[in-house]
Amino acid sequence: MTLKSLLLGVVSVIALSGNYSALADDVPSISEDALKVAAELRDEALKSSKGYDIVESLTTEVGPRMAGTPGDAAAVKWGVAKLEELGFDKVWTEPVTFPTWKRGIETAEVVAPYPQPLVITALGFSVGTPEDGLTAELVEFDDLAALEASEEDSAKGKIVFIKNRMKRAKDGSGYGPAVSARTRGASEAAKKGAVGILIRSIGTDSDRMAHTGVMNYEEGIKKIPAAALSAPDADLLENMLRRGKPVIVKMTIGAKQGKEYTSHNVIGEITGSEKPEEYVIIGGHLDSWDLGTGAIDDGAGIAITTAAAELIGRLPERPKRSIRVIMFANEEQGLLGGKAYAKAHKDKLDNIITAAESDFGADRIWRIDSKVKKEALPVVMEIANLLKPLGIEYGNNKAGGGPDLIPLRQLGISVFSLRQDGMDYFDYHHTPNDTLDKIDPEALDQNTAAYVVLAYIAAQMEGDFGGGFTKEQ
């Protein structure tokens, strides 16, 4: 980006009454030298295993780090120390403040007609039951839509059981349609008179572990306790209900709201040699759910992007632009870190060349999507070309960029999505099974190799990827 384009960008921000523009007047390009270095970095990444070391460190030395817990504070401390240890030029934190939620006891059992314990886990932000539990008859619905379409008192005094099954897919496309039962189920059930809700876990496994995840209460609707059943327990309830007798369930949930808490985005920078104020964002989220050790969600993303930047930092010379690794705070409970970063930096969006977050596990990347101005597509093709030996193909110019980048993306920045194979991701997602053993070190290296190429090219290119993408292209 030239000074002229920078100035033009600033003008456009005002002109468009948005915060961003960046329609540069130069034709973006990338030098042969840069391509050569990028290929070397890529090949080096495949041999490195640095990513695995990082996620092993995070899961072993910190482990669970739910927003607002002592693990959150330990993770921030770990992040700063790790980035410093790895030789980043600048390491700092930025505050992120949010409400917190505490998990307590969470048990459930069938009381009649076939007494048996059930495996459940409370959904994030669920209220608790009375201390001695909540006992009521179960009423089942195929999915959230069926609940919504049911008559007014369809669940009066009952515990709603939503039994929809998430579909397994490489691109994770089964998640969206299924997850509304988790996020909106409680309020929809309350509207029908329910006193509690149990959903089949939003996951693709058949392990006896329930998947947690955040839910929301609709303003003005009674808050009822909400939990997820493991898949085998949901099967069990279906089998019981099929017999036609009333199924009475007792659930006891001790969850409650905590105090407001201030955590931090942890940021490490490899500072550019020519245009240090311009930077590429790569990163993941540092928080995790409390049930596992947050290996694939999102220790892997932290590890992949930190390892990629660290590799660039080992070059004899700094790249032209800066590379920032952002370890976002509290993604899980509402993208709080991403929102805080966007708010803090919204006046300098032109400095952000592009951004890509890794937050879809630890399996191999199979596709790269971009969201860039048309003039920059030749540079994207050069990147795609460098990723081909990694088994990665180019997808389209409609990239999402990752959850913590949504707030920045909505302000118009250019983003990339390095799309991981998500076939197994939802087997472990938000369960106790999200542990280090689920990570294949070689797959992690493949991810690092892809990020290092993207970050390095973006840091070295002439011109920019554009911006001001406030509408879907």
Q: Which residues sit at the interface with a copy of itself, rule CB under 8 A?
A: 56, 59-64, 70, 114-117, 119, 206-209, 231-232, 235-236, 239-240, 243, 292-293, 431-433, 435-438
Quote the tokens at residue 182. Answer: 């988790």
Query: Residue 449 Cβ, how far from Zn ion at the closest point, in Å?
Result: 21
Min. distance of Cβ 301 from Zn ion in angstroms? 7
For a copy of itself, the closer CB: 60 or 273? 60
Q: How many Å apart are CA 190 and CA 217, to the nearest integer?
A: 10
Residue 368 or 436: the one with the smaller Cβ distance to a copy of itself is 436
Query: Residue 341's Cα: distance from chain center in Å?
Result: 15
Which of the choices Zn ion, a copy of itself, none does residue 240 contact, using the CB cut-off of 5 to 8 A by kind? Answer: a copy of itself
- At its nearest, how many Å lie between a copy of itself and the CB of residue 437? 5
Nearer to Zn ion, 158 or 419 (CB): 419
Among residues 21 and 69, whose Cβ is nearest to a copy of itself? Answer: 69
* Min dist. Cβ of residue 402 to a copy of itself (A): 26
262 binds, among Zn ion, a copy of itself, none (CB under 5 to 8 A by kind): none
First-to-last C-alpha distance (Å) of the chain: 22
DSSP 3-state of 218: coil
Q: Which does 359 bind (CB under 5 to 8 A by kind): a copy of itself, Zn ion, none?
A: Zn ion
269 HSE (CA, 13 A, CB side): 17
- Residue 426 CB, shortest distance to a copy of itself, in Å, is 15
Residue 256 gets which letter from DSSP? E
458 makes contact, choosing from Zn ion, a copy of itself, none, with CB < 5 to 8 Å by partner type, with: none
Q: What is the C-alpha to C-alpha distance for residues 199 and 217, in angstroms, rounded to an integer?
A: 15
Helical packing angle, 441-460 and 50-61, nearest 10°: 110
- Comparing CB distances to a copy of itself, the nearer of 16 and 241 is 241
Q: What SS3 state is found at 363?
A: coil
Q: Angle, nearest 10°, between helix axes 300-313 and 70-85?
A: 20
Q: Helices 32-46 & 300-313, crossing angle to 10 degrees?
A: 130
We find the least distance from the C-beta atom of residue 245 to a copy of itself, in angstroms, to be 11
148 or 207: CB nearest a copy of itself: 207
Distance, in Å, from the CA atom of 437 to the CA atom of 422, rounded to the nearest integer, reads 17
Reduced to 3 states (helix: H, G, I; strand: E, B; else coil), residue 155 is coil
Please report which residue ranges of 364-435 form alpha helices under DSSP H: 377-387, 406-410, 425-428
CB 189 within 8 A of CB 155: yes
Question: Could you tell me which residues come within 8 angstroms of residue 320 by beta carbon, excluding any fewer than 6 positions away?
Answer: 272, 273, 274, 275, 459, 460
User: For residue 325, what is the enclosing H or E element?
Assistant: strand 321-328
- Of the pair 58, 189, the CB lying nearest a copy of itself is at 58
The binder of 135, among a copy of itself, Zn ion, none, by C-beta within 5 to 8 A per type, is none
- Selection from a copy of itself, Zn ion, none that 298 binds (CB < 5 to 8 A by kind) is Zn ion
The catalytic site residues sit at 331
Give the residue ranges of DSSP H helices in 69-141.
70-85
| Partner that binds at residue 432, options a copy of itself, Zn ion, none, CB closer than 5 to 8 Å by kind | a copy of itself
Q: Rounded to 5 degrees, what angle do the CA atoms 36, 38, 41 make?
A: 115
**Contacting positions for Zn ion (CB under 5 A):** 297-298, 359
What is the closest distance, in whole angstroms, from the C-beta atom of residue 181 to a copy of itself in the complex? 20
